[in-house]
Chain A
Amino acid sequence: MPRAILEVRDLRTYFFPEEGTVRAVDGAHFDVYPGRTLGIVGESGCGKSVTARSILRIVERPGRIVSGSILLRRDGNDVGVDLATLAPDGKEMRRIRGGDVALIFQEPMTSFSPVHTIGNQIVETVRLHQGVGKREARARAVEALRLVGVPSPERRVDEYAFQLSGGLRQRAMIALALSCSPRILIADEPTTALDVTTQAQILALLADLQRREGMAIILITHNLGVVAEMCDEVAVMYLGRVVEQGPVDTIFHDPKHPYTRALLRSMPSIEARVRSRLPVIEGSIPHPYNRPAGCPFYPRCPDFMPGRCDQIEPPSVSVGDGHEAACLLYAETAT
């Protein structure tokens, strides 16, 4: 297996509003490999989006990265650059942002400026990262639109976001992100706002682009079906922590962490008995100011071990080939 292009180790991003500290990301770690897709799943509020923003160093005040490392390896050279140490608004980080790592959002309508044309925004990015003249940049913008399957790109490039349909807008947003040929594409819930048909199209597009450009994709979603379809590796997050990660098949067929198991159980299945109740995870996500001590999941865990789970933060241990879980159930048996 080639070396990881992105290595996140023990990332902690906290927010410090007046009311208290919110530990949005509390020890995330995962690897991203070139040409492969990593899926990050979890319920709303588990810190997936903040992780993405932390990688790009666009976490808003009053939040900031508190500790951890984000190692980016371009071109497979051994020495990577730790994004966590760069100045967020500095030249190098800005070069990486959009140039090496790009981000696309859930809601394409609001991702585009309402008062600038799509072309204007793509050209701006291209000129910033690739240093070409206006005409060349415009040509590349048109090419990017063509690549994502926008019909008549020469015309569309001068239109505004509100003039496009939902699916086309999403494609345009992907074009915007890909215009500078990034190594890594982070897609934050790219299909949640789309209908099922368009969803399929966009996913196919992403897979196709990945094949062609060899770029890595981090797919952030709460939709396990999308994960099963698109991803090579999966990281499951809960309350800011990666509780389990591994190859997609392993996670789906042999989940180890109680949370992952509960998630998979709660998926509606075509094989379930008719009229049976959908299993749900007991309890609800605790308030961010009220985090439980020890393992974050223990109040809702069916395998809760009193005296241990509420005292010790479970470390992430290996439970198989390339498969890790952060649960005290496996802590002893691991080497």
Chain B
Amino acid sequence: MLAYLARRLILALLTTWAVSVLAYVVIQLPPGDYITSYIAQMSASGSFVSLQEAETLRQQYGLDKPIWVQYMRWMGMVMQGNFGMALEWHRPVSEVIGDRLWLTMAVSGAAILLTWLVALPIGIYSAVRQYSVGDYVATFIGFIGLAVPSFMLALVLMYLGFTLFDMNIGGLFSDEMALAPWSWAKAWDLIKHLPLPAVILGLAGTAQLIRIMRANLLDELRKPYVVTARARGLSEWHVILKYPVRVALNPFASTVGYLLPYVVSGSIIVSLVLSLPTVGPLLLRALVAQDMFLAGTIVLLLGVMTVIGTLISDLLLMWIDPRIRLEGRK
């Protein structure tokens, strides 16, 4: 068990490092550097920066050093919580991002929670009552989740909500709460608004998980230990829930690890359509405006949060499957 934990931890650290490198690549991608954008900004507002001044500034910021040195400096800054300045906003990046990161994780988390809560029972039911009406309905939902990209679903739902119900289904807060400081009331408001984005985001994942659960369970249901359990006189649902479901849960739990990055990715685009105050719209604006510190930081933080989430799900898997816990003990 410890070996497993150690492995996952090392992998998490490696991944975090990889994310930081990739984030830095994103920062450095557009032609020119921080100073070039700074100069452009300055000249747009009327001031003029001479080449001499530019050079001095460059040296000051260490932009004349090789790129890996710059990377180290940036990592140093990041570790101290200093993410740089957001050019467009003239404010520190951390301020601009503010709540949005947590909201992104809230929406993603809600989507995953919903996915589990919905996909599991439906998957189980589908497998146990194969070819029933419920099974076909579940398969149909599966197809929708499969074929319709989440942002398209969001668009269609918004359109329907607007025309049929005359309501704007976007946003994570009602108007009054949006700018209010955090409180229980605001948290409750958030929870009330979460289901719809969570459903839209989670549909694709739910569809996939239903399929996996159904397939796994169908395989397990044929196995001898299920028959043995039945032969011992346990009731049918007891048999199914305690034995094959538990075994079929394993691959299920391991897919959660890959569900989180997928959902976080999807939330970026969906939040744009639904105008959610999450990191998505901010990232797009930053990229378009070439506000690279903001963009890079968002990429970094998203990656880190995802890695943490994945690690948590690995711990969950470890708890569920005794075969991992006992690994190496025999």
Contacts and interface: CB of A to CB of B under 8 A. Distances in A.
Max chain A CB contacts within 10 Å: which of B223, B227, B236, B320? B227
Contacts of A125: 232-234
Interface in B232-249: 232-236, 242-243, 246-247
Contact of A97 (B223, B233, B321): B233
A110 interface: yes
A164 B235 CA distance: 28
A115 B229 contact: no
A111 B225 CA distance: 4
A163 B230 CA distance: 23
Interface residues of A, number: 31
A94 B232 CA distance: 8
B224 A107 contact: yes
B228 A112 contact: yes
Interface of A: 53, 56, 58, 89, 94-99, 102-103, 105, 107, 110-116, 121, 124-125, 128-129, 160, 162-163, 173, 176
Interface residues of B, number: 24
A95 B235 CA distance: 10
Q: Shortest 8 CB-CB distances between A and B: which pairs?
A: A98-B233, A98-B232, A97-B233, A103-B231, A110-B224, A94-B233, A111-B228, A125-B232
A113 B247 contact: yes
B330 interface: yes
Nearest to A90: B235
Contacts of A115: 246-247, 250, 320-323
Contacts of B250: 115
Nearest to B250: A115
Given A115-B247, A115-B321, A160-B326, A110 B232 contact: no
A110 B223 contact: yes
A165 to B, nearest CB: 12
Contact of B323 (A53, A97, A114): A114
Given A107-B224, A112-B228, A114-B247, A96 B323 contact: no
A98 B235 contact: no
A113 B229 contact: yes
A89 B236 contact: yes
A89 B247 CA distance: 23
B323 A105 contact: no
A89 B224 contact: no
A56 B231 contact: yes
A124 B230 CA distance: 12
Given A97-B230, A110-B225, A116-B246, 18 more contacts: A53-B227, A58-B231, A95-B233, A96-B233, A97-B231, A97-B233, A111-B224, A111-B225, A113-B243, A114-B247, A115-B250, A125-B234, A128-B234, A160-B323, A162-B323, A163-B330, A173-B228, A176-B232
A14 B230 CA distance: 20
7 contacts: A97-B232, A97-B233, A98-B233, A111-B225, A112-B228, A113-B246, A128-B233
A112 B230 CA distance: 12
B225 A112 contact: yes
Interface in B249-294: 250
Contacts of A53: 227
Contacts of A176: 228, 232
B224 A105 contact: yes
A160 B327 CA distance: 12
A167 to B, nearest CB: 17
Max chain B CB contacts within 10 Å: which of A89, A94, A107, A114? A114
A102 B326 contact: no
Interface in B287-329: 320-323, 326
A113 B229 CA distance: 9
Contacts of A107: 224
Contacts of A162: 323
B247 A58 contact: no
A97 B235 CA distance: 11
B231 A94 contact: no
Contacts of A99: 233
Contacts of A89: 235-236
Contacts of A94: 233-235
A129 B231 CA distance: 12
Contacts of A121: 229, 232
Nearest to B226: A113
B232 to A, nearest CB: 4
A129 B232 CA distance: 9
A97 B236 CA distance: 13
A256 to B, nearest CB: 34
Nearest to B228: A111
A98 B230 CA distance: 9
Contacts of B247: 113-115
B242 to A, nearest CB: 8
Contacts of A112: 225, 228
A164 B230 CA distance: 23
A74 B311 CA distance: 56
B228 A105 contact: yes
Given A114-B323, A115-B323, A58 B230 contact: yes
Contacts of B236: 89
A176 B225 CA distance: 12
Interface string B171-205: 00000000000000000000000000000000000
Contacts of A98: 231-234
B50 to A, nearest CB: 72
A58 B234 contact: no
Nearest to A89: B236
Contacts of A105: 224, 227-228
Contacts of A58: 227, 230-231
Contacts of B322: 115, 160
